[in-house]
């Protein structure tokens, strides 16, 4: 269930051996040479070695110039060279994220450079519900967190919107998957109580005499992970360990995606509760 990665550990990924990666690359080069694939090796290396800002700029250029199939193959190449499969998902959603983000900003702002946050919030919510295939509305606290992520105050610029969109779209895309969509729409119990911060999760796991019982946990989306970070749209489980300390671990979405495709796949709720470290869903105490 839990991929052994703490939230603040950055881009830790399972690595294959050097010889295995070399064989994979050699095989892939043979495949690529037979097709009409025009994204250069230097572009692949540039993406692998670049920071988040560099990757975002590069993906925006690629998404407007190349087809879905070419981006799919580019994602496979980046995964091979970087040794990290998490990059693949962010590349695959790039084209839709950019295209839909551009359309939403135009719907909200038209030819204006600034738009009042309250005026934009209704359209943002509508687009979020469409992408996530959800009937659940966003709460006032959810909007406050989105506003904080965007960095705006009363008025929002396109730069503010893009900051918010790069966090919100991957989350909405994750929620559109059937295995987690049911959890998001569930009201009893409420497996996901909205967009919450790490601090809110930690406070919620405090009892009158300290931490709650070991195994008590809360699910949340990491607010510090925006596209194209490999963990954008991922789920964090914050829980009280047997050592009576708080732990924050990233759930492996790749693992759950593969499990969800199996005919006898168990619901995510059951898979979580089957973990020895997790036994009881906690409740959120929202900050005011």
pLDDT recorded at residue 86: 86
- Rounded Cα distance between 264 and 125, Å, is 34
pLDDT recorded at residue 35: 54
Domain 178-281 class, CATH top level: alpha beta
pLDDT recorded at residue 187: 87
pLDDT recorded at residue 3: 44
Model confidence, pTM? 0.85
- Rounded Cα distance between 288 and 286, Å, is 6
pLDDT recorded at residue 169: 98
Neighbours of 23 (CB within 10 A): 12
Average pLDDT per run of 10 along the chain, which is 288 residues long?
40 34 42 62 95 96 94 95 90 97 97 96 97 96 97 97 98 93 91 93 87 95 96 95 95 70 76 93 76
The residues of the chain that CATH labels 1.10.238.10 are 97-175
Q: Does domain 97-175 have CATH number 1.10.238.10?
A: yes
Alpha-carbon separation of residue 142 from 194, 197, 203, 251 (angstroms):
6, 10, 17, 22
The residues of the chain that CATH labels 3.30.505.10 are 178-281
pLDDT recorded at residue 231: 93
Compute the half-sphere exposure of residue 168: CA atoms within 13 Å on the CB side of its CA.
Answer: 29
pLDDT recorded at residue 256: 65
């Amino acid at each position: 269930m839990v991929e052994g990665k703490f939230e603040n550990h950055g881009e830790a990924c399972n690595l294959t051996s050097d010889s295995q990666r070399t064989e994979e690359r050699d095989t892939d080069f043979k495949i690529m040479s037979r097709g009409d694939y025009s994204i250069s090796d230097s572009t692949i290396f540039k993406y692998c070695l670049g920071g988040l800002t560099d990757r975002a700029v590069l993906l925006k250029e690629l998404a407007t110039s190349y087809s879905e199939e070419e981006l799919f193959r580019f994602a496979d190449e980046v995964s091979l060279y970087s040794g990290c499969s998490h990059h693949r998902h962010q590349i695959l959603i790039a084209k839709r994220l950019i295209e839909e983000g551009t359309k939403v900003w135009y719907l909200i702002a038209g030819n204006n450079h600034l738009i009042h946050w309250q005026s934009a919030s209704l359209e943002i919510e509508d687009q979020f519900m469409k992408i996530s295939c959800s009937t659940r509305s966003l709460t006032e606290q959810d909007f406050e967190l989105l506003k904080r992520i965007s960095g705006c105050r009363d008025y929002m610029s396109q730069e503010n919107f893009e900051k918010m969109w790069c966090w919100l779209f991957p989350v909405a895309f994750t929620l559109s998957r059937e295995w987690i969509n049911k959890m998001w729409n569930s009201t009893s119990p409420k497996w996901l109580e909205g967009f919450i911060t790490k601090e809110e999760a930690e406070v919620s796991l405090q009892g009158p005499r300290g931490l709650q019982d070991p195994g008590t946990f809360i699910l949340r989306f990491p607010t510090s992970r925006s596209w194209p970070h490999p963990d954008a749209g991922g789920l964090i489980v914050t829980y009280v360990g047997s050592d009576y300390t708080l732990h924050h671990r990233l759930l492996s979405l790749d693992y759950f995606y593969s499990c969800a495709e199996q005919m006898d796949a168990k619901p995510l709720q059951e898979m979580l509760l089957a973990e020895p470290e997790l036994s009881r869903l906690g409740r959120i105490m929202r900050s005011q």
